Amino acid sequence: MDDGSGSGGGAPDAGGRKGPLRTGGAGGLPGARAGSGAGGDPAHVDGEAVQAARDAVHVDVPDAAHAVQAAPEADRAATPDRGVRTDRAVRTDRAPGHPPVPPPARTATSAPAPAGGDPGRPTAPHSYGTEDSVPRLPSLVPWLGLVSPLAILTCGAVLATELPGAAPLTACGPLLRADALTAWILLVVGAVATVACAATPAHLAHERPDPAAARRYHLLVHAFLAAMSVAVLAADLGVLWVAVEATTLVTAFLVGHRRTRASVEAAWKYTVICSAGIALALLGTVLIYYAARQAGVPEAAALDWTTLAARADRLDPDVTRLAVGLVVLGFGAKAGLAPLHAWLPDAHSQAPAPVSALMSGVLLSVAFAGLLRYKTIADAALGPGYTRGLLTGCALLTLAVAAALLLGQRDYKRMLAYSSMEHMSLIALGAAVGTPLALSAALLHMAGHGLAKAVAFCASGHVQRLLGTTRIGRVRGLLARAPALGTVFGLAVVALLGLPPFSLFASELGIVRAAFAAGTGGYAVAALVLALLAFAALAARTARMLLGPPPSPPSGDRAEAPVRLGPAAVLPPVCGLLACALLGVTAGPLTRLLTAAGDLLGGR
Amino acid sequence: MNDSVFTQLLDLACGAFLLAAVAVLWLRQLTSIVRAFAFQGVALAAVAALLGLREGRGELLAVAAGVGLLRAGALPHLMRRVLAASRPGDGGGRYEEDVSEARETRPLVNVAASLLSAALLTFLAYAVARPLVALDPTPATRALPVALAVVLIGFFTLVTRRRALAQVVGFLLLDNGITATAFLAASGVPLIVELGVSFDVLLAVLVLQILTTRMRAAFGGTGIDDLRELRDR
Amino acid sequence: MNPAGTAVALAAGLAAAGAAAGALLPGRARVPAVGLCTAGLGTAGLAAGTAALDGVRWSARLPGLLPLAGAHLAVDALSGLFMAVAGAVVLAVAVYGIGYAAGRGPYGVASRGVQSALPVFALTLVLVPAAASVSTFLLLWEAMALTSLVLVLAEQRGRPAVREAGVWYAVMTQLGLVLLLAGLALFAAGAGGETFTALRAGAPALSPAARGTVFVLVAAAFASKAGMVPLHPWLPRAHPEAPSNVSALMSAAMVNLGAYGIVRVAFDLLGGGPRWGWLLVLGTGALSAVHGILQAAMASDLKRLLAHSTSENLGLVLVGVGAAGLFASAGHPLPAALALAAAFLHVVNHAVFKALLFCAAGSVARATGLRDLDRMGGLRARMPATAGFFAVAALGAVALPPGNGFISEWLLLQSLIEGLTVPGVSTAVVLPLAVAVIALSAGLSAAVFVKALGVGFFARPRSERAAAAGESPPGMLLGMGLLGLGCTGLALVPGMLGDGLSRAVAVAAPGGGPPLTGDSLELRLEHLATSLSPLWAAAALAAGLLAALALVRVTARRGRRSHVKLWDCGGGAPTARMSYTATSFAEPLQRVFDDVLAPEQGVDVTPVRASTYLVERVSFRRSVPDRIERRLYQPLIGAVDRLGEAARRLAPGSAHRYLGYGFCGLVALLLTLAASR
């Protein structure tokens, strides 16, 4: 089984290129290769040397790396018709006949600044500038990507100050509308996107410098954020659907960014499953439109949320029941709820880490917020029992699947993805209860989960880059090897486990209290037991990864110094964790907004 | 046109619509499947056009023309391009064509069972659509079960086909069914939504086409069963 | 200014300062700074608790803290007792900890993470009794769990067993939280509010089924924290693997909160539980007491022995609490108050002597690097002060006069015997059994601590590391000295606590006058018209000893000492290896309790290659497993693992399967909707 460790850029173009080049991903900790044995990815070592050579950009490349770099080319040239088996051939044929590659440089600084090699190592220094060029200042261009998330965050903050207590704002005629829920979701989107985009330069700095791919990546990320914002601000359910469908298409290429076999597979499954799901949601929307038209709503306003929410009691109950069921299935597919949940682990494990962070934090939240809009209409038309039953069923099923699959999990990125499913099911449970406290708690949980999961994915991206593997069993002693990274990852998992001071504790507490107060205590207990199983699995695996002494290097070298990541890699996750902790200690000025959003969704 | 002619023509168009969906389930050559899908697009445009003529709405006729162009013209064309790309290049002579890519092999559910499932799904669609018809009994809404049946058959096709292109056709069947539901139930959705949906479908097919190309490059074929590397088992 | 409120605020401020110091200060300044802040925090907690025991009440609301709820704090006599205990233990252990952690490397107990978590843990220990709403209580409870987990994992780099201990601890704490959350949320839902005042007011409105469910859930959760059977496996794993100052805090302050929780929720908030519930609590306490002391008798790891002894002592506390509840639910508040007072006094005594025991064990571990009693020995000559402190604490632990444990166990027995006057079949059957259990555990604990003291400290050193031991630095001795002073004070003048304890009991079990009063000379039990004067007893004992010594001195014949070779059965001079080890000391006990303990042994014989009749090597292994863990936890863990393996078939990688799930979901939804019309 592939350990999913192909990272770095792939073949530069689609077309007939056979076999992706496995570059990157191995950050020069030879101890990681100790236990790899026969299947032992010498291609990673090669890939790392090749990438290091490419990072250096200049001719000053050691001979061994040259020989290694020539070899994959030779392999590829010699076997043009072996098609996609090349990469496997590279892996297994590598060992004999090639000189042993010296331990690759630990290019552990993140910003594209001069990377310091280890003193006393035989290869050339991998510095960005050679002796005769001026040392470059770190470029500001990668940081320009922060402009749009910060803009979203600012808009959310402005709306948050204006809106609680005031009437909802509209713009662009009947198309855009902002109420308390919109403001909260915009804040969540802005915060998570800021963390993810601030962590992007550190990730991209270690990929192959392919300007076209990087341009496409940034374009897609910002298109994704734009589509998410339109989905949140939509006044019309049809526009909401179009925006959510657009995000599927945009993220398909983001998931498949790396051009490896596994990422193509993940992109295909993601696109097909989400498109099928969202098509069901379209059917639901069409049926709501039909019911609204039959209830006498004029054509121009038949999909407008405010009008529908006001006239929901006149909608035909049977048609609405069918429509809402389809919408729950459809938007639930995008939000990671069973039964159309299976794209989530594949997509999250194959996408680049900032994209996984965005998907887990932003996409799931916005899809669920769309579902909440339909829920208000359904509750007004059918009474709260129907959606409560439907959402509780989906939530408990998803939680059971996530907990069961966490118990035997071997890949830490998939582990984080199943943890996302677990938290989305808790949010769904809060939404199912339907009281204002429960809905406020669910919204708070969206915020906390988005931040914590973004930090966790960004940290896991660095772990994958440093160790070259996503198998839990091959990561040992992370706290000893890379203290800052290990601490950040550990704290993110602590936040996801629902421990204070992070806000997921307060929101889970709120959901359980509200569930008992509304009389659905049995479901809450079932959810708590399943969440305990997930807790045990997650805690055991994270402990195995983080704790313990650093593994000794295979050839009896002196013990390695701990890897230090630069501030550009550590600062964004730390800020995310601080924000999550602050939110958990006090909601402060956001309390009014949160209660207003909860009342909006559940108080009517 | 008077009621009975309209009803008969509408029922004819819906019947052709459903028949095309069942044909997709039955055929195995991918080129034939694309042709059946194109036929369904024509039937869908006919349904929309009939509704437009009946209600005397010009924009519905325009939408019908657009739908026909998209679903009977542009989308099948895109899919034929994907099929053409899968055929290995001509070696300068008339070599034996490799047909393994061009047809469904070893269906997941055999043809008899598929047709039986299609029948069962049609029954289910009739059962489910009863409240929809009861809400507004017109000749158009009485044909709603057909649209829902096509939705279910499209999903079934999506689930059980082994070639990527056949999965794309299944998804498009699903979407055709939903569009037909929109037309039959409420004479279409607001224009902006219709435009958005069409654009999204077009983009979806483009995305799937690009992914199919990448899949062929990475896996050497477009069999869905090859996509088994990401798993927990 | 309310002294309790000021003290609490001061404690919070010092905790923040300590955490910042631990995270930011470099190497050598870190440990003393954190230690001083924690000691100050402990003093503040002690002051707040003492003020509350004197009758001061305080409450505060912080609506901005904790989103969606709000923080509520309130201090009364009951919480004051536990705050005082926690504060005193924190103070002494913090002083001890400065010396303990000094000079260690950058990893382990002197690292940033551990030192910044220590003041926060101490703060939660002091503040949990002051929580006055469900959300605040759970927040502080979980914060305590998290910080103690970080502290337990302090030495994870050096030893792989620490990781496993940490995971067990984390999962079982979370299990306790789940039970507690369910119980308290049910309570809050039934009572219509989440602050303790609202719960108290709304408790009569709960239905009997809800009341019973709340009682069982909450009691199970708090019993797990107190290390009661069957939710105890985390205790003998976490306490030994943690650094000794952390073990002292956990054993002496954290487990008490389990008892606090039961008293607060079941007595105060619920207003009394069902009779069968209290019988359950009593039975669990008794069972845990016996189980704990048996496991301690078999243990040869010093810290594991002490951890099991904690379990035993908390079991005795719960016997007292359960008996008090039983009497109260039968409508007899006077015996109930006495039993509760005995339980509280035992909490105080146990806290002090257990902290001292763990500190002494930590001294030994630091000096020799050993935890295994079988390899120690001869430490009395090399570490006289530590040995003395261990002896004082052990005297308290064996519950014999003039130790401090004697007084609380005597009180407990008195209350149980007096409770025989309460009518009812259950009391008539259960109480004599409880008395028997207490007697059994007292006897076994004597054996256990004689083993620990004798085998560990006396005789000759049985390994080189024990021979190379040196006394601990003065900082550690100061901390141990404070605790020793506490032990002696509690042994000689327990009457000073009488009024405070009575006020604490009055919060939980009102009705009837104060059960205990006293002054520096004697301790009076009001309802029984009995009194005990430990000071006089100790003075009499000391006088008797002196008289005996004087007699011996006077009447001993001044003869010449003659040096004669002892008959050694021809074997030569005895070596240190031949002396009693802990295992051999415990072997008769193990034979007596063979059916209960079910020890396992295995013999491996390796013959010489050339001939199977000649033996090259024989190895013998014996272990006494925890049968409850073996029978209950291992099958459960095995079942969960198998579930995980089976569940992996849910994600086989086939896109058909994944889409099929969705299709089946859709068809199921449609069928349900079509059928339900």
pLDDT digits (tens, 9 = 90+) for B131-150: 999 988 888 889 999 999 99
Residue A339, pLDDT > 70, answer: yes
Q: How many Å from the N-terminal Cα to the C-terminal Cα in chain A?
A: 52
Closest C-alpha to C475, from C98, C188, C35, C148: C98
Which token pair is A68?
A: 């290694």
d(CA C61, CA C132) in angstroms, rounded, equals 9
| Average of per-residue pLDDT across C179-200 | 95
* pLDDT band for position A46 (cuts 50, 70, 90): very low
Residue A98 Cα, gap to closest chain C Cα (Å): 36
pLDDT value at residue A35: 37
Q: What percent of chain C has pLDDT over 90?
A: 70
Partner residue facing A444 (CB), from C68, C138, C146: C68
Q: Which amino acid is at A54?
A: R
* pLDDT band for position A320 (cuts 50, 70, 90): very high
Q: What percent of chain A has pLDDT over 90?
A: 55
Residue B5, pLDDT > 70, answer: yes
pLDDT value at residue B105: 63
Contact A500 C142 (CB under 8 A): yes
pLDDT value at residue C496: 84
Closest C-alpha to A511, from C182, C141, C265, C192: C182
User: How many separate domains does chain A show?
Assistant: 2
Contact A14 B211 (CB under 8 A): no
d(CA C656, CA C642) in angstroms, rounded, equals 26
Residue A142, pLDDT > 80, answer: no
Model pLDDT for residues A241-265, shown as the tens digit of each residue? 999 999 999 999 999 888 888 999 9
Q: For B204, which residue in chain A has the nearest alpha carbon?
A: A249
d(CA A505, CA A524) in angstroms, rounded, equals 15
Residue A262 Cα, gap to closest chain C Cα (Å): 11
Residue A574, pLDDT > 80, answer: yes
Strands A176-178 and C58-62: unpaired
Q: Kindly compute the dihedral angle of the four CA atoms of residues A376, A382, A383, A389, in this order, to the nearest 10 degrees.
A: -90
| Average of per-residue pLDDT across A133-139 | 59
Contact A241 B193 (CB under 8 A): yes
d(CA C383, CA C379) in angstroms, rounded, equals 5
Residue B190 Cα, gap to closest chain A Cα (Å): 7
Q: For C161, which residue in chain A has the nearest alpha carbon?
A: A548
Q: Are A422 and A403 in contact (CB under 8 A)?
A: yes
pLDDT value at residue A451: 96
Partner residue facing B155 (CB), from C648, C649, C663: C663
| Average of per-residue pLDDT across A319-339 | 94
pLDDT value at residue A27: 38
pTM passes above 0.90: no
Closest C-alpha to C119, from C35, C220, C222: C35
d(CA C177, CA A497) in angstroms, rounded, equals 12
pLDDT value at residue B13: 93
Model pLDDT for residues C259-272, shown as the tens digit of each residue? 999 999 999 999 88
Query: With the C-alpha atoms ordered C457, C461, C463, C469, is the resulting torsion angle positive or negative?
Result: positive
Please indicate whether residue B186 or residue A220 has the higher confidence score (pLDDT): A220
Model pLDDT for residues C459-470, shown as the tens digit of each residue? 889 999 999 989
Residue B131 Cα, gap to closest chain C Cα (Å): 9
Is the minimum CB–CB distance between B115 and chain A shorter than 8 Å? no
Q: Tally A–C CB contacts below 8 A.
A: 187
pLDDT value at residue B220: 82
| Average pLDDT score over chain C | 92
pLDDT value at residue A44: 41
| Average of per-residue pLDDT across A539-549 | 93
Residue C483, pLDDT > 80, answer: yes
pLDDT value at residue C183: 96
Residue B57, pLDDT > 80, answer: yes
* pLDDT band for position A169 (cuts 50, 70, 90): confident
* pLDDT band for position A559 (cuts 50, 70, 90): low
Partner residue facing A262 (CB), from B134, B224, B229: B229
Residue A246 Cα, gap to closest chain B Cα (Å): 7
Question: CB atoms < 10 A from the CB of B122, how many?
Answer: 20
pLDDT value at residue C519: 75
* pLDDT band for position A9 (cuts 50, 70, 90): very low
Contact A319 B132 (CB under 8 A): yes
* pLDDT band for position A126 (cuts 50, 70, 90): very low
* pLDDT band for position A563 (cuts 50, 70, 90): confident
Q: Which residues contact C543 (CB under 8 A, 6 or more apart)?
A: none
Q: CA geometry: angle at C156 spanning C230 and A464, to 5°?
A: 110
The shares of helix, strand and coil residues in chain C, as percent rounded to the nearest 5, are: 75, 5, 20
Q: For A406, which residue in chain B has the nearest alpha carbon?
A: B232
pLDDT value at residue B152: 96
Q: Are A511 and A520 in contact (CB under 8 A)?
A: no
Model pLDDT for residues A173-214, shown as the tens digit of each residue? 778 899 999 999 999 999 999 999 999 988 888 777 788 888
pLDDT value at residue B218: 86
Residue A597 forms part of a structural domain: yes
Please indicate whether residue C108 or residue A226 has the higher confidence score (pLDDT): A226
C169: chain A residues, CB-CB within 8 Å? none
Contact B218 A84 (CB under 8 A): yes
Is the minimum CB–CB distance between A559 and chain C shorter than 8 Å? no
| Average pLDDT score over chain B | 86
Residue A138 forms part of a structural domain: no
Question: CB atoms < 10 A from the CB of C28, how many?
Answer: 11
Question: Residues 138-167, chain B: which have Cβ within 8 Å of A?
Answer: 151, 155, 158, 164, 167
The burial of C236, by beta-carbon neighbours within 10 Å (0-12 exposed, 13-18 middle, 19 or more buried), is given as buried
State which H helix or E strand residue A379 sits in: helix A364-382
Tokens 């009997």, residue located:
C208
Q: CA geometry: angle at C617 spanning C612 and C621, to 5°?
A: 120
d(CA A318, CA B132) in angstroms, rounded, equals 8
Partner residue facing B232 (CB), from C648, C656, C662: C648
Phi and psi for A441 in degrees, rounded to 5? -65, -40
Contact C669 A325 (CB under 8 A): yes
Neighbours of chain B (3+ CB pairs under 8 A): A, C
Contact A282 B203 (CB under 8 A): no
Residue B101, pLDDT > 90, answer: no
State which H helix or E strand residue C623 sits in: strand C615-623
Q: Which of A278, A505, A508, A583 to mutate to test the interface with C (most CBs of C within 10 A)?
A: A505
User: Do residue A57 and residue A152 come from a single domain?
Assistant: no
Contact A499 C664 (CB under 8 A): no
Residue B105 Cα, gap to closest chain C Cα (Å): 15
Domain ranges of chain B: 3-87+105-225
* pLDDT band for position A28 (cuts 50, 70, 90): very low
Residue A487 Cα, gap to closest chain B Cα (Å): 27
Model pLDDT for residues C144-159, shown as the tens digit of each residue? 999 999 999 999 888 8
Contact B217 A409 (CB under 8 A): no
Q: For A323, which residue in chain B has the nearest alpha carbon?
A: B132
Is the minimum CB–CB distance between B133 and chain C shorter than 8 Å? no
pLDDT value at residue A190: 96
Is the minimum CB–CB distance between A399 and chain C shorter than 8 Å? no
Beta bridge partners of A234: A176
d(CA A463, CA C37) in angstroms, rounded, equals 36
Partner residue facing C67 (CB), from A506, A528, A537: A506
Model pLDDT for residues C553-604, shown as the tens digit of each residue? 888 877 777 787 777 777 777 788 788 888 888 999 999 998 888 888 899 9
Is the minimum CB–CB distance between A290 and chain C shorter than 8 Å? no
User: Do residue A73 and residue A181 come from a single domain?
Assistant: no
pLDDT value at residue C525: 82
Residue A109, pLDDT > 60, answer: no
Contact B229 A256 (CB under 8 A): no
B186: chain A residues, CB-CB within 8 Å? 286, 289-290, 293, 302
Q: For A440, which residue in chain C has the nearest alpha carbon?
A: C68
Is the minimum CB–CB distance between C653 and chain B shorter than 8 Å? yes
ipTM: 0.93
Please indicate whether residue C626 or residue A109 has the higher confidence score (pLDDT): C626
Model pLDDT for residues C534-545, shown as the tens digit of each residue? 888 888 999 999
Which of A93, A113, A128 corresponds to the end of one domain? A93
| Span of A121-130, C285-294, C471-480 with lowest mean pLDDT | A121-130
DSSP at C71: E
Please indicate whether residue A478 or residue A174 has the higher confidence score (pLDDT): A478
Domain membership of residue A59 as a residue range: 30-93
* pLDDT band for position C103 (cuts 50, 70, 90): confident
User: Do residue A375 and residue A445 come from a single domain?
Assistant: yes
The 3-state DSSP class for residue C615 equals: strand
User: Do residue A552 and residue A469 come from a single domain?
Assistant: yes
Partner residue facing B220 (CB), from A84, A302, A319: A84
Residue B39, pLDDT > 90, answer: yes
Contact C658 A405 (CB under 8 A): no
DSSP at B136: S
CA distances from A114 to A55, A110, A136, A203 (A): 10, 10, 8, 16
pLDDT value at residue B100: 60
pLDDT value at residue B88: 60
pLDDT value at residue B111: 87
Q: Which of C61, C62, C66, C68 to mutate to test the interface with A (most CBs of A within 10 A)?
A: C68
Phi and psi for C644 in degrees, rounded to 5? -60, -45
Residue B182, pLDDT > 50, answer: yes
